[in-house]
Amino acid sequence: MVSSQHASHDLAPLVWSDSMLLGHVGIDEEHRVLADLIGRMQSARDEDMALALDELVAHATKHFSVENALMRDTAFPARDCHIKEHEAVLSTLNGVTRRLAVGHVEIARCLADELAAWFPAHIQHLDSALSHWLCKLRYGAKPLVLRMGRTSTAETASQFNFMRRPT
């Protein structure tokens, strides 16, 4: 069994902050849960990693399907690349689940850190555009978001394909 409890992983666990707020209540609440699950996976003990990953996969699957439906139902113009990124993330999560099942804890720990770096960027670059679109459709204007302060963001280079964007 491959085991490396916290070895060479020093990215701080992701903590929700209002810098991630978009102004869409449903999406913001789901993001808050997802950020918490990513942070928990980053700090999970080896023996708890499978449960942490399972919970993350379940929530991410549900959340992505909600966003995908919102994009399709409202004919969001930039939906294709956004939906493809969701699919790539789920594919990676499922692949790591299979690796973890045969003892590769290190890859799961690595994935957790990569997700912590990817998630705030995904919110900022893709989900924010969707939130603006939905708000404009409903209210005719961009959402107004009041942020009280920032507590956590993470930016690192990525090794998983879902984080690579065409330039």
28 sits near Fe ion (criterion: CB under 5 A):
no
Least Å from the CB of residue 130 to Fe ion: 7
d(CA 107, CA 105) in angstroms, rounded, equals 6
Hey, which residues between 56 and 75 contact Fe ion (CB under 5 A)? 67
49 or 89, CB closer to Fe ion?
89
d(CA 128, CA 131) in angstroms, rounded, equals 5
127 sits near Fe ion (criterion: CB under 5 A):
yes
31 or 109, CB closer to Fe ion?
31
67 or 114, CB closer to Fe ion?
67
Least Å from the CB of residue 123 to Fe ion: 6
Residue 48 is given by DSSP the state G
46 or 127, CB closer to Fe ion?
127
d(CA 138, CA 101) in angstroms, rounded, equals 44
d(CA 125, CA 151) in angstroms, rounded, equals 19
Count of residues touching Fe ion (by CB under 5 A):
2
Least Å from the CB of residue 167 to Fe ion: 20
67 or 113, CB closer to Fe ion?
67
HSE (side-chain half, CA atoms, 13 Å) at 31: 26
Nearest alpha-carbon partner for 42 in 116, 92, 102 = 116
Least Å from the CB of residue 60 to Fe ion: 9
Residue nearest to Fe ion (CB): 127
- Which string of b and e fits 77-114 if b means at least 16 CB within 10 Å? eebeebbebbeebbebbeebbeebeeebbbebbbbbbb
Least Å from the CB of residue 122 to Fe ion: 6
Q: Report the interface residues with Fe ion, using CB under 5 A.
A: 67, 127
